[in-house]
Amino acid sequence: METFLISGENEGIGFYVISQLLREGKQVAVLDINTGNLEQPKNEHKNSLVYFTCDIANKEVVNE
């Protein structure tokens, strides 16, 4: 099974991308500052989507 790590997918084009990947049966991990919109896809794809609140522009946070 293919797995994708994507940043900035809470809304807009990014949200569409993860939605499509999940429909195709892919596993998706998301890093974003805001993750509120990801609860619904998580409920629909419990074993295929994980997400973490993270500002990837902040080196200190990423290293934790």
**Per-residue pLDDT, 60:** 82
- DSSP category for residue 54: -
**Per-residue pLDDT, 23:** 96
Number of domains making up the chain: 1
Residue 4 contacts residue 26 (beta carbons within 8 Å): yes
**Whole-model pTM?**
0.83
**Per-residue pLDDT, 40:** 94
Rounded to whole angstroms, the Cα distance separating 35 from 42 reads 11
pLDDT digits (tens, 9 = 90+) for 11-50: 899 999 999 999 999 999 999 999 999 999 999 999 999 9
Domain extent, residue 17, equals: 3-63
